[in-house]
Each structure stands twice: as structure tokens, then as C-alpha cells.
Structure 1
């Protein structure tokens, strides 16, 4: 290389190397301070796209877990109310059995029937009053076909827990039958011709026993269906949590920085920057050698 004074090529080369190592040092500082290997699209364009899709799925899965947990709470609310209705039906059958025997007169049966009707009214009240977040559960509102086109959905409840909109993978429906006294066929509200409408006579009391059995079976079917749905939801929650955990691990491998490896790179770039700075200082002093020849 010639000894010239118009251009300091060695200094330019040292400056370029310093700029490169200093830029790499800044990248290492950014990664170590953020904990992320990918801080912008320029770091890894394909990795960034995959990471953001994974983050969206992870957020959806975590929300799906909360949706399923809310559905479990709703089912537990409905089942708790049905347990109380169960107690009322058992008491009604006890009263019907009492009124079926011939040792009571008509006045006494009317007294027994008044409690019977009170139990039926209480069943209807419980079924009408039981709600979860303003959604009535036992009055038959959740027994029809699902319609979600309007601002307020109707029919069976759609529990959405997946990251997509596939009926086989991302949601299913919770259907709860009507548990009012009239729907169960007991009490005066069921109509005068219903077998379980009244126990005011011995004949009506005897006929109501079968109607009460049917009512208890209908109620038990609702509870059994809710129990199976709760078990299914709890299994779904576990599966979603495992999915989210595994997806989070995959996202971490793409996005997070390996601190040990990056710290090694940081020290390397730091040494290179220091070395380039020292050489740049030396290169800037080299043109002075030419002035010695001129003297």
C-alpha cells in the first residue's frame, strides 16, 4: 500500500469495521435487555410472522380456558338449583303417598294438597329465578336450537373455547331442559288434566305418584346431562392448558434470546469494537509519516 496523504484507506477500513462491530454490539444489547431474539422484522422476518401467529393462538387458547371455566361455573349454578328442586319433588312424592292412604279425610287432604301446590310453586320460582350473568338457566330458554345472529343469542348456549371456528374442535353447545313445575308435569300449573296436578283426592294422589316419578326422572336426566357436560368441559380445560403451554414453549424457542449464547456474542463484539477503536486511532496517525519525508 502506497504512502499517500489524500486518502487514509487504513483509517476508512478500521472505521468500517468499527461501525459493523458497534452495530452488532447494539443488537446484542437490545436482545439482552429485552430478552427477545426478535425485536423487529429485520431480525428474522419469517420468525416474526410465525411468532405473532403463535401469540394470537396462545391468547385465544387462554381466553378459551376462561370461557370453559365460566361454563363450568354456570353448570354448577344450574345443578345446585336442580338439587333444591330435587328436594321439593321428593317432598311432593312424600305428600302424595301420605294423601294416597284412606286414613285421611277430605279436609286433611286439602291441607296436604296446599303444601303440595306450594312445593310446585317453589319449583317454578327456583327454575325461573336461577340465572348466571343474567342468563336464565332452568326456565326453558336454553332448550331450543341455537341462534346467534342477533344482539342477544337464543336457544342452547354455545361455549366457544378454541382458537378457530370449527364445530368439531372449537366449541359445543350446552342444552338445559325446562325445569319448571308445569314442564315437569306437577302442580296445578301443569293443567287440570295432568296426572300430577293435585293430590286433593285419594285417586288424584295415587295417580300423581307416577307423574312424580316421571318428573324426578326428567330432572335427573337434566342433571346427568349437566354432569357429563361439566366433566367434558373440565377435560377441555386441561387439554387447552396443555396446548397453550406447548405453544408457548414453541414461541419461546423462536422468539426468546439464549442469554448464554448472546452474552458470548456481546463480549466478542465488545472486544472487536475496542480493537477497531484502537486501530482507528493508530490509522489516523499514519499519514503523519508522509510529512517526515517532506521535511
Structure 2
């Protein structure tokens, strides 16, 4: 190599190597400080695209777990109210049994019937008042077989969404709750007709016993359905948590930095950078050798 002044190729070469090493050192510092192997699209374009899709699914699955837990809370609210209605129906059957015997006068049966009707009114009040986050659960609003979510207020059976897409076989199912008002159960004078209408007469009381039996069975069917749905939701939550965990592990393998491997690269790049700085300093001093010849 010729000894020249205008073009210091050794310095240019050292500067280029310094730039490369320093850039790699900066990348290692960024990865180690952030914990991410893929911090920008330039690090791994395909990996970044896959990671972001996984992250969106993980976020959706975690929200799906919360959705399912909210649905369980709603079911427990409805079941608790039905438990109180159960007590009222049992008391009504007890009153019907009392009025069915012949040892009571008509006036006494009217008194018994007044409590019977009060219990029926309380059943209807509980059914109409039980709500979860503004959604009434036992008044028949959720008893329809069809669902429509096109309006601001959804109608029909309730759609519980927990999956990452909108596939009915994977991402959601419906909760249907039949009405639990006294008229729906066929007891009390709020019902238009039926054997459970009144216990003011001995015959009416005897008929009411059968009607109350049917009402208790109807109520138990609602509770059994809610219990089955709660168990199903709990299993759904378990499955969602496993999916989220496995996706998180896959996302970590793509995105997270291997600290031991990156630390090795960091030390290597650090040494190369320090060496390049030292050699650039030496290369910059080489043209001075030409001055000694000129001076000589």
C-alpha cells in the first residue's frame, strides 16, 4: 500500500468496521435492556407479524376469561334469586296443604289465601327485580330462542363471547333463562287461570298442591340449567387459560431475547468496538509518517 496523504484507506476501513461493530453493539444493548429479540420489523419481519397476531389472540383470550367469569357471576345472581323463590314456593305449598284440610272455616281459608297471594306477589317482584349489570334475568327477557345483537340493546337469549373470532362452535354460546314470575310458574291470582290460582276454597287448595308441585319442578329445571351452564363456563375458562398460556409461551420463543446468547454477542461487539476505536486512532496518525519524508 502506498504512503499517501489525500486518501487514508486504513482509517476508512477502520471507521467502517467501527460503524458496523458499534451498530451491532447498540442492537445488543437494546435487546438486553428491553428483553426482546424482535424490537423492530428489521430484526425479524416475519417473526414480528406472527408475534403481533399472537399478542392480539392472547389479549382476546384473557378478556374471554373475564367474560366467562362475568357470566358465572350473572348465573350465580340468578340462582341466588331462584333459591329465595324456592323458599316462597315451599311456603305456598305448606299453606295449600293447610287450606286443603276440612278443619278450617271459609274465613280462615281467606286469611290463609291472603298470605298465599302475598308469597306469589313476592315471587313476581323478585323475578322482575333480579338483574345483573342492568340485564333482568328472571322476568322472561332471556327466555327467547332467538338472539339479536343488531340494536343498541341485545334481545333474546344472552350471547356469551369468549373466543378470538366469531365461530359459534368455538367462540361463544348462549344463556337462556326462562321466566320465574308467579304467573309463569302458574301460581297465585296473577295467573289468568290454572289450578294454582287460589286456595280460598278446599277444592282450590287441593288443586293448588299439584300446581305448586309443577311450579317447583319448573323452577328446578331453570336452576339445573343454570348449574350446567356454570360448570360449562368453568371448563371453558380452564381451556381458555391453557390456550393463553401456550400462546404466551410460543410468543416468548419468537419475541424474547436469549440473554446468555445476546450477552456473548454484546461482549464480542464491545471488544470489536474498542479495538476499532484504537485502530482508527492509529490509522489517523499514519499520514504523519509522510510528513517526516517531506520534512527530511
TM-score range for the pair, normalised by the shorter chain length: over 0.9
Alignment partners' CA distance in 2, 1:271 and 1:210: 92
CA shift for structure 1 position 292: 2.5
Alignment partners' CA distance in 2, 1:254 and 1:212: 63
TM-score by length of 1: 0.98
Q: Tell me the residue number matched to 1:176.
A: 177
Q: Tell me the residue number matched to 2:250.
A: 250
Q: Tell me the residue number matched to 1:280.
A: 280
Alignment partners' CA distance in 2, 1:128 and 1:162: 31
Alignment partners' CA distance in 1, 2:37 and 2:60: 24
Q: Tell me the residue number matched to 2:36.
A: 36
Q: Tell me the residue number matched to 1:164.
A: 165
Alignment partners' CA distance in 1, 2:169 and 2:44: 35
CA shift for structure 1 position 7: 1.0
Alignment partners' CA distance in 2, 1:285 and 1:131: 85
Alignment partners' CA distance in 1, 2:148 and 2:124: 25
CA shift for structure 1 position 137: 0.2
What are the equivalent positions in structure 2 for 1:264-279 lying under 5 Å apart?
264-279=264-279
Q: Tell me the residue number matched to 1:74.
A: 74
**Alignment of 1:45 onto 2:45:** yes
Structure 1: unaligned runs, 5 residues or longer:
none
Alignment partners' CA distance in 2, 1:97 and 1:202: 10
DSSP 3-state at the match of 1:189: coil
Q: Tell me the residue number matched to 1:152.
A: 153
CA shift for structure 1 position 33: 1.2
Q: Tell me the residue number matched to 1:62.
A: 62
TM-score by length of 2: 0.98
Number of residues paired by the alignment?
294
CA shift for structure 1 position 293: 2.7
Alignment partners' CA distance in 2, 1:149 and 1:282: 75
Alignment partners' CA distance in 1, 2:245 and 2:280: 50
Alignment partners' CA distance in 2, 1:292 and 1:211: 120
Q: Tell me the residue number matched to 1:186.
A: 187
Alignment partners' CA distance in 2, 1:209 and 1:255: 68
